[in-house]
Structure 1
């Protein structure tokens, strides 16, 4: 018989852990001063999430790691790239890759085709596609303020991104 670990009980205001790239708060938490705190009384639950991340950006394209397809996590990551001409549907010649994506950004993209060297060609040329989560230079999670800008809640500085329009089917409410 194996011994089960006792569940961790949290109360509102209790510090859970340090806010890092590998940790993010979920329902019933908030972040302040570099830490994640509990906003509800209950048992601590942890889980791992798989998303796609930007790994490299240059003036012609950005490289990505594809870690999930829809809500299905992949057993191993696949390489992908978003070319400059596949970022937006209009004004393709005015796209500046560094103003659209940064390393570490989490994006929603559509697969166009299998590209060179076993990497997939991806597109964000729809309103629903683009950056869904990004971290500011100050280390805070950026908040979208328009289709092309996000704002740091710590420093109130604005950073350019190709922001994805939030789709209601992907919004998850507490208690559901």
Structure 2
């Protein structure tokens, strides 16, 4: 097949590329409801069939090529959103789901060590009073650790838990301070290392 000049057209996942009665789906493309969509981030490529006299005459084939597309990878200094998977005495293990506001297509693991939860009184940090499995946390990437796991920090006021559910009722917890969140149904107070979002709790002194 011959390749047309449209090979440089950039596309994102979910972009509609054309109708299925006009094109065949190739690599990196899927069909839904009579249309072709990009299944990956890359560049659109159209292969035109040879003329009927040469045994062709079929529909052009749409591909999305990922060559030259760099995957998003966390790097030191990035603010990431993570989901806590396990909490031990010294480390909260997590899965990194976003870098900034962009979701990741590749799985990266992170670890918040006891000394990186807050800036002071590190030896008094109790990890289970800061994070619980299932919590959504905003953190900063410190460095690449080992086994494809990043070391993360929540030692700034705007870093920490941004979403959590109560242990008793499963309802979303409401932040009530720097180290507490409350269940709106049971009024139970749970401890967390809470991220300050917007202008919340300006009258509450930060944890020292």
Flag whether TM exceeds 0.5 (same fold). yes
**1:6-155 paired onto structure 2 within 5 Å:** 51-137=81-167, 138-155=169-186
User: Moved runs in structure 1, 4+ residues, more than 3 A?
Assistant: none
CA RMSD of aligned residues (A): 1.8
1:167 is aligned, of 194, 198, 201, to 198
Structure 1 gaps of 5+ residues are: 4-50, 169-176
Question: What's 2:37 paired with?
Answer: none
Larger radius of gyration: 2
* Displacement of 1:68: 0.6
Deviation by residue 1:125-168 (Cα, 9 ceiling, x = unmatched): 00000000000011100000000000000100000000000037
Give the Cα–Cα distance (whole angstroms) in 2 for the partners of residues 133 and 68 of structure 1.
14
The normalised TM-score by structure 1 is: 0.66
Q: What SS does the aligned partner of 1:116 have?
A: coil
Deviation by residue 1:101-138 (Cα, 9 ceiling, x = unmatched): 00000000000000011100000000000000000011
Give the Cα–Cα distance (whole angstroms) in 1 for the partners of residues 187 and 117 of structure 2.
26
* Displacement of 1:80: 0.4
* Displacement of 1:77: 2.0
Give the Cα–Cα distance (whole angstroms) in 2 for the partners of residues 63 and 116 of structure 1.
13
The normalised TM-score by structure 2 is: 0.56
Task: Looking at secondary structure, tell me which structure has more strand per residue.
Answer: 2
Structure 2 gaps of 5+ residues are: 1-18, 20-32, 35-80, 200-208
